[in-house]
Amino acid sequence: MHDPIDQLLAEHREIMAEVETLRRAVLDLRARGDAALPGAVPALASVGRMMATRLLRHARKEDEALFPAIEHALGAGGGPTAVMREDHRAIHERATVFRETLRELNEVEHPAIVAGGARLRALAGGGADAATLAETGEQVVSLLDLHFGKEEDILFPMAREALSRDALRAVAERMAAIEAEAA
Ligand SMILES: [Fe+2]
Ligand SMILES: [Fe+2]
C-alpha cells in the first residue's frame, strides 16, 4: 500500500515548489514595482491555475478521505494505538483540540485558499497594479505556509497515531478515487 500521509506530504512539496514562483514574483513586484508586471503576472496566473486544479484536488483528498477517517477514529475513543498509550482523560482532551484543528483546516482554511486562488486569477487577468498584486500574492503565500505547516506539525502526526492500517488503506483508496476522477 502507498502510505496516504506520505503521499499528501509529497503533494505539499510539489505544490510548494510551484508556490516558490509566486514568492519570487512578490519579491520582484515589491522591489521593482510596475516594471516587474510583465514577468510577475504570468507567474501569478499560473499559481492561480494550480490552486484551482492540483491544490484543490489535494484539499479534496484531505476533506473527503483523511479528515473523515480521523473524525471517525477520534469518535471511537482515539483509536487503538492511542488507547494503549494514553489515559482516557488525555485522549479526550486531545480529541477536542484535534477536532477544532480539523474544523479550522476544513471549514476555514481550505475555503480561504480557494478564495485566494480565485483572487489571484482575477487580478492576473486584468490590469491590477504591482502593489495590489504583491499584497494578494503575499496573503496567499502566508496562508499556504501556515496551513501546510499546521497539517505537517499537527494533523499528519495525529493521523499516523490515530489511524489503523485498515483505516489508512481505506484513506489511500479514497484518495486514489479522487485522483482518478480528475484524470
Ligand atoms: Fe489542506
Ligand atoms: Fe495539505
User: What is the per-residue pLDDT for 127?
Assistant: 84
Q: What is the CA(140)–ligand 2 centre distance, in A?
A: 14
Which protein residues have their CB within 5 A of the ion that is ligand 1?
Answer: 59, 62
Task: Give percent of the chain with pLDDT exceeding 90.
Answer: 73
d(CA 22, CA 101): 27
Q: Which ligand has the minimum distance to the alpha carbon of residue 107?
A: 1
Let me know if 74 is exposed, middle or buried by CB neighbors in 10 A (0-12, 13-18, 19+): buried
Q: What is the mean pLDDT of residues 142-152?
A: 96
Q: What is the CA(147)–ligand 1 centre distance, in A?
A: 6
Q: What is the mean pLDDT of residues 65-89?
A: 67
Lowest mean pLDDT among 34-43, 90-99, 109-118, 124-133: 90-99
Q: What is the CA(59)–ligand 1 centre distance, in A?
A: 5
Report which of residues 84 and 12 the model is more confident about.
12
Q: Looking at domain 4-182, does it have CATH number 1.20.120.520?
A: yes
Q: What is the CA(71)–ligand 1 centre distance, in A?
A: 15
d(CA 130, CA 33): 5
Q: What is the CA(108)–ligand 2 centre distance, in A?
A: 14
Contact partners, residue 3, CB within 8 Å, separation at least 6: 168, 172
Sign of CA dihedral 157, 161, 163, 166: positive
Determine the residue type at 74. Answer: L
Q: What is the mean pLDDT of residues 90-102?
A: 78
Q: What is the mean pLDDT of residues 88-110?
A: 81
Q: What is the CA(71)–ligand 2 centre distance, in A?
A: 16
- State the average pLDDT for the chain: 89
Contact partners, residue 9, CB within 8 Å, separation at least 6: 152, 156
Q: What is the mean pLDDT of residues 32-36?
A: 96
Confidence band of 86 (pLDDT split at 50, 70, 90): low
